[in-house]
Amino acid sequence: MLTIHQEPEIQEINNDFLDQKKIQLFVKREDLIHPDVSGNKWRKLKYNLIQAKSEGHHTLLTFGGAYSNHIYATAAAAKEVGFKSIGIIRGEEHLPLNHTLSFAKEQGMHISYMDRSTYRLKKTAPIIQQLRDKYGDFYLVPEGGTNNLAIKGCEEIVDDEVRSFDYVCSASGTGGTLSGIIVGMQGAGQVLGFSALKGDFLQKEVGDLLKGYGVDYQNWKVNTDYHFGGYAKINAELMSFIHRFREEHNLPLDPVYTGKMMFGLWALIGMDYFEPGSKILAIHTGGLQGLKGFE
């Protein structure tokens, strides 16, 4: 089992703007759960590791980009629970290895590269068979880590205290974490996802994930206005917001996910999207390792 480094606590954000808007804002610090397997990646891997072990596997294989928090977390988690790990990275090798990949390698992950056109076919049977021929038996964790066991793990972000909020917000990539939060809320409150990716496929994707999980909740929405041009795209306004948030609230945010969520949440509060008196909880899904890639 993966260890919990620190139980995620809920911290209040206080300032005059929130007082004026009569909004109470809190952050659940899932980023503190583990130093290397941070936030939602810990939640998403938990039951997959238990499953892999119960099926008698010794190796995890997964996919991701060169800056992927999922690759970083999977490498650390595999090491901690005594699995071998293989990371199939999109694109070509760039030396020296960046922080994410050199960390993954230090954890013992075998890194291999897949050209972009083959990578697009990574879910298909022939490509998976090629990987099995090359590496032997492995437990496959999908790109981003999203599957039903990941959703089950993310349900555990939610407890009675989380269910008492009017709104629960999370950054979203594949939608697995958001789906788990929606399931965990059991219909209470409103769940709001902020897409870190360009486009509006996530509303449908999350609907499909929920359906595949056998539930049909309607108390959720995906906001697609704060992706800043797409995955890992940033601008000076976002970076200065993140910087200010750290100074004023002692809360570190990453530029790929949680920074965009908080920027969007702050903007929506400014536009009176939330009724006065609302209690909002933002989930800090972690990802602070990604900061090093931007330094």
Applying CB under 6 A, the residues found at the interface with ligand PLP are: 39-41, 69-70, 144, 146, 171-178, 254, 257-258, 285-287
* Catalytic residue, candidates 38, 68, 172, 179: 68
CB nearer to ligand PLP: give 21 or 205.
205
Minimum distance of ligand PLP from residue 189's CB (angstroms): 19
Minimum distance of ligand PLP from residue 293's CB (angstroms): 12
3-state secondary structure the chain: CCCCCCCCCEEEECCHHHHHCCCEEEEECHHHCCCCCCCHHHHHHHHHHHHHHHCCCCEEEEEECCCCHHHHHHHHHHHHHCCEEEEEEECCCCCCCCHHHHHHHHCCCEEEEECHHHHCCCCCHHHHHHHHHHHCCCEEECHHHCCHHHHHHHHCCCCHHHHCCCEEEEEECCCHHHHHHHHHHCCCCEEEEEECCCCCCHHHHHHHHHHHHCCCCCCEEEECCCCCCCCCCCCHHHHHHHHHHHHHHCCCCCCCCHHHHHHHHHHHHHCCCCCCCCEEEEECCCCCHHHHHHC
CB nearer to ligand PLP: give 135 or 252.
252
Catalytic site residue 278?
no
Number of residue whose CB is nearest ligand PLP: 287
Minimum distance of ligand PLP from residue 140's CB (angstroms): 16
Minimum distance of ligand PLP from residue 225's CB (angstroms): 17
CB nearer to ligand PLP: give 21 or 149.
149
CB nearer to ligand PLP: give 131 or 205.
205
The residues assigned a catalytic role are 68
